[in-house]
Structure 1
Amino acid sequence: MPISNAAFVRSTVMLLIGGMIALLGIVGTSLWLVHKVEGYFTGYIEVREVRSAASDLLSTLKDLETGQRGFVITGDEAFRAPYDAALAAVAEKQQLLSEKAARFPNYAARMPEIERLVKDKLQELAETVEAVEEGRQAEAVAQVKTDRGRVIMDQLRTQLGDIMGNADNRLQEGVTDTVWSAGALQWTTVIGAIAIIGVLGGAAMVVAQYTRDILAARREVETLNATLEKRVDERTEELIRANQEVQRFAYIVTHDLRAPLVNIMGFTSELQASLAAIQAYVLADGKAPSPDDILEARRAASEDLPEAIGFIRSSTKKMDGLINAILKISRDGRRELKIERVDIKALVEAGAAAVGHQVAESDGVITIGDTLPTVISDRLSLEQVFGNLFDNAIKYQAPDRPLRVSVTARNSGRAGFVIEFTDNGRGIAPEDHERVFELFRRSGTQDKPGEGIGLAHVRSLMRNLGGDIVVRSEFGQGTTFVLRLPPDLSKVVRSMQA
């Protein structure tokens, strides 16, 4: 349905505003999430430092106690070395824990009690060691046997263990928050990209719709009957589909035709480089060319030039094939349709008979339903459609089972007839269901000759007949092509000309 200038401007502005909002949303949310991740990471490092300091202090106190007990029990000076080393490190470890814990109020609140317990523990250890040094080993052993040292150490383990346990919980929460933020950032990017693509797609549709023949659309609206709303919806769907086809076709032409040109340009440079070597030999201005010039000229004439010319020739041949395929589909679109009564069942039977010997080679069977209709359409186009489908079924049959092909139909009322062409061949992967209808696109293992124009040609023919074709397939199980065909093409043509 045509749109007015005001509506066009309004839609364009709204789409631009929507795109800007989506972009700002992506940027703002991404910055916020990145800031949160940085905060989580910083907190993770700080908590990890507190835990490490608490663990180091507890380990040092254990080493100190171990050395003290060995010295008290045995009186051996060998135990004084680890005791003295641990004793020298306690103050440093305690100071480090105090500095790291100061960043967290709940940890800092525990430090006075920890410092008191450490002081008591050091005093208890010093008393026993001093007693042994003064020869009062029995007194030192008796003092060790009391629970004073153990109780202090248990209290220290509890205090430092609580810090480490709390730190472990914080670390786990930090990891969880970081993972969540990373996931949220990913989804924000994906959703924002989808929104921007939707805005761009909407803008393209608005522009394409606005460039239609406004006068013809207005005349059509004036002559619509009671089915106005349905016909407008159908026409809008056709416009969108045509615009998508134009966009895909433009991409194919620019992409696939450009590749041979790039090859030609590249090997033209090779020709130019080789020509320079030959010129150095031929245009030597009366001077005798050097052996290197002669060798380079011979190499250019015998290797480089033939290779470059061969690649240019093959690229030109490829481009010629692509252009011929495009012209073939273009000619089909311009060909004047010969509208006549067509018996679909008889037409399919004729197509099956043409490939019957190929199907029989694999013990295959073609089943044709009794409900295939008679329609008013273009016979040549339908022959080409079913011929291509039979060829594809044979070409891509599964090697491990006989080929089975069935053609059935049903009447869908106003939507026309639905014809299903089913085979038990290789099947098509889900991501390729739409791709197989694109020009020069193929799916699956490329072990069969072809240029990727067959199904694109079939879809072009079906849409010229006012219908369409889609595919249902499961990879490795088989494929069903679903054809929608209007019962009377002449009515479709009159409707389009109205």
Structure 2
Amino acid sequence: MPISNAAFVRSTIILLIAGMIALLGIVGTSLLLGSKVQAYFAELIEIRATRSAAADLLSTLKDAETGQRGFVITGEAGFRAPYDDALKAVSERQKSLAEKAARFPEYAARIPTIDRLIADKLGELADTVTAIQEGRSSDAVAQVKTDRGRILMDQLRDQLGNIMDDADRRLQEGVVDMLWSAGALRWTTIIGAIAIIGVMGGAATVVAQYTRDIVVARREVETLNATLERRVDERTEELIRANQEVQRFAYIVTHDLRAPLVNIMGFTSELQASLSSIQNYVLADGKAPSEADILEARRAASEDLPEAIGFIRSSTKKMDGLINAILKISRDGRRELRIERVDLKALVEGGAAAVNHQVSESDGEVTIDGNLPTVISDRLSLEQVFGNLFDNAIKYQSPGRPLRVSVSARNGGRAGFVIEFTDNGRGIAPEDHERVFELFRRSGTQDKPGEGIGLAHVRSLMRNLGGDIVIRSELGQGATFVLRLPPDLSKVVRSMQA
């Protein structure tokens, strides 16, 4: 179905809006997911830094304890170096853990306990180291054996371990969230890309179809222009032909009507002359008419007057017949056509049945093709056309041979249906093929009554139906009347009105 301009604009706007929504969705979702990933990443960094601070602090405390144990057992200063180094780093790492844990309330809540345990642990370490330095090794060993240092260290491991375990859990969850956000961003991009491709494809389809419709419309316009030119040429030819027929009709009418009129005028002069002879006899004013006047008056009354009156009557009768024929064709041209479905086979069979008794008198035969079509036309006009053709076939049948009439049809394409009405009558000479369609014109021997309007009437009817009629014939070989008839008269009427 062709796309109208309004539909094209509407479709384009809808596709642009859909593409804009898809693009905004992609951008918005990407920004949202990107900000979430950034937030996750920042939080992960802080959690990881807190865990590292807790691990470093625990490791430093272990180093201090290890150095303390070695110094207590050996009493050698070399084993005290790790203790001293760790002791220096504890404060700094304790401070680092406090700063990083401050961002997390659950970690910050543990810092006071951790600080207290560290203070106790460092105090326990310092006591044993001082005892060794003062030579009280037995006191230092006894203090170590109290297990107080181990208990403090276990408590620190629990506190710092809990922070590290919770940090590990949160790091794992953060990684999962980041991976989910990355996957969502990837799928959002893919779906958005598919949506944009779909919008672009839809737009391309709409544009392609609209372009195709424009090309088709342009071709149709070109075809219509060509058809219009052909129709203008056909109308021009029809107009020229109609003008020629009008001129020929006017000439024939004036010529044929003028002949009886001249006769009437001439015999009116004869009447005037005869009247003068009678006046000389009747109006003698009491004088005895001469023998010559009497003879002239008698001849006028007995011969001239009856002859003139007879010729005048004959001429007026001929004029009346010509005028009636003209009026008949004129009335048929003005009659409103009644367009209906007409079965030509049934119509021709009806026409043949009407003349069957005349055909049978000469042992004749009428053959009707079973493929005669059904048309949309004026039934009365077609009945008159075939009625005239059957009458002509009977009137001008060839003496001495049975009459044969056949009616067939074929599809003539743009020309419509072509119907051929063939008889084996006297035939018509080629030079008279057009003459027989003229008003008051007949061909061949004029031994049959008629006024010469039958075939003129048939051509007039056929052209009123949007068709035409021509003849193929040779003298003595019968005649074929070829009728061109459009399948639908209503289309012809609409075309004529366009």
Shorter-chain TM-score bucket reads: 0.5 to 0.7
Structure-1 separation of matches of 2:423 and 2:295 = 61
Aligned to 1:94: none
Aligned to 1:298: 298
* Deviation digits for residues 125-163 of structure 1 (CA, Å, limit 9, x no counterpart): xxxxxxxxxxxxxxxxxxxxxxxxxxxxxxxxxxxxxxx
Q: Does 1:357 align with 2:354?
A: no
Aligned to 1:383: 383
Shift of 1:388: 0.5
Listed as ranges, the matches of 1:175-254 within 5 Å are 227-254=227-254
3-state SS of the aligned residue for 2:452? Answer: coil
Aligned to 1:414: 414
Aligned to 1:267: 267
TM-score calculated relative to the size of structure 2: 0.54
Structure-2 separation of matches of 1:363 and 1:286 = 74
Aligned to 1:493: 493
Shift of 1:400: 2.3
Structure-2 separation of matches of 1:359 and 1:277 = 57
3-state SS of the aligned residue for 2:471? Answer: strand
Q: Does 1:403 align with 2:403?
A: yes
Gaps of 5+ in 1: 1-220
Which amino acid in the other structure matches residue 486 of structure 1? P
3-state SS of the aligned residue for 1:324? Answer: helix
3-state SS of the aligned residue for 1:376? Answer: strand
Structure-2 separation of matches of 1:446 and 1:226 = 48
Aligned to 2:372: 372
TM-score calculated relative to the size of structure 1: 0.54
Aligned to 1:470: 470
3-state SS of the aligned residue for 2:289? Answer: coil
* Deviation digits for residues 291-316 of structure 1 (CA, Å, limit 9, x no counterpart): 21122112111211111111101110
3-state SS of the aligned residue for 1:476? Answer: coil
Q: Tell me the C-alpha RMSD between the 2 structures.
A: 1.8
3-state SS of the aligned residue for 1:276? Answer: helix
3-state SS of the aligned residue for 2:400? Answer: coil
Structure-2 separation of matches of 1:439 and 1:469 = 15
3-state SS of the aligned residue for 1:341? Answer: strand
Aligned to 2:85: none
Aligned to 2:307: 307
3-state SS of the aligned residue for 2:286? Answer: coil
Shift of 1:285: 2.9
Aligned to 1:424: 424
Listed as ranges, the matches of 1:18-57 within 5 Å are none
Structure-2 separation of matches of 1:423 and 1:279 = 61
Aligned to 2:255: 255
Structure-1 separation of matches of 2:358 and 2:314 = 32
Structure-1 separation of matches of 2:227 and 2:295 = 81
Aligned to 1:83: none
3-state SS of the aligned residue for 2:244? Answer: helix
Aligned to 2:183: none
Which amino acid in the other structure matches residue 317 of structure 1? K
Listed as ranges, the matches of 1:278-357 within 5 Å are 278-357=278-357
3-state SS of the aligned residue for 2:469? Answer: strand
Shift of 1:252: 0.8
3-state SS of the aligned residue for 1:284? Answer: coil
Q: Does 1:461 align with 2:449?
A: no
* Deviation digits for residues 89-115 of structure 1 (CA, Å, limit 9, x no counterpart): xxxxxxxxxxxxxxxxxxxxxxxxxxx
Structure-2 separation of matches of 1:298 and 1:404 = 58
3-state SS of the aligned residue for 2:484? Answer: strand
3-state SS of the aligned residue for 1:363? Answer: coil
Structure-1 separation of matches of 2:371 and 2:247 = 37
Q: Which structure has the larger Rg over C-alpha atoms?
A: 2
Which amino acid in the other structure matches residue 328 of structure 1? K
Which amino acid in the other structure matches residue 227 of structure 1? T
Listed as ranges, the matches of 1:45-124 within 5 Å are none
Shift of 1:497: 1.5
3-state SS of the aligned residue for 1:297? Answer: helix
Shift of 1:225: 5.5
Shift of 1:360: 1.6
3-state SS of the aligned residue for 1:257? Answer: helix
Structure-2 separation of matches of 1:460 and 1:442 = 16
Q: Which ranges of 4 or more aligned residues in structure 1 deviate by more than 4 Å? A: none
3-state SS of the aligned residue for 1:472? Answer: strand
Shift of 1:423: 0.8
Shift of 1:403: 1.2
Structure-2 separation of matches of 1:237 and 1:484 = 17
Shift of 1:286: 2.9
Structure-2 separation of matches of 1:399 and 1:297 = 51
Structure-2 separation of matches of 1:231 and 1:295 = 73
* Deviation digits for residues 162-189 of structure 1 (CA, Å, limit 9, x no counterpart): xxxxxxxxxxxxxxxxxxxxxxxxxxxx
Structure-2 separation of matches of 1:233 and 1:375 = 26
3-state SS of the aligned residue for 1:227? Answer: helix
Structure-1 separation of matches of 2:299 and 2:364 = 56
Structure-1 separation of matches of 2:324 and 2:459 = 18
Shift of 1:226: 5.6
Structure-1 separation of matches of 2:273 and 2:412 = 66
Which amino acid in the other structure matches residue 454 of structure 2? G
3-state SS of the aligned residue for 2:397? Answer: coil
Task: Answer with 372-381 or 397-406: which moved more.
Answer: 397-406
Aligned to 1:448: 448
Structure-2 separation of matches of 1:312 and 1:228 = 54
Which amino acid in the other structure matches residue 324 of structure 1? N
Structure-1 separation of matches of 2:237 and 2:344 = 27
Structure-2 separation of matches of 1:475 and 1:226 = 42
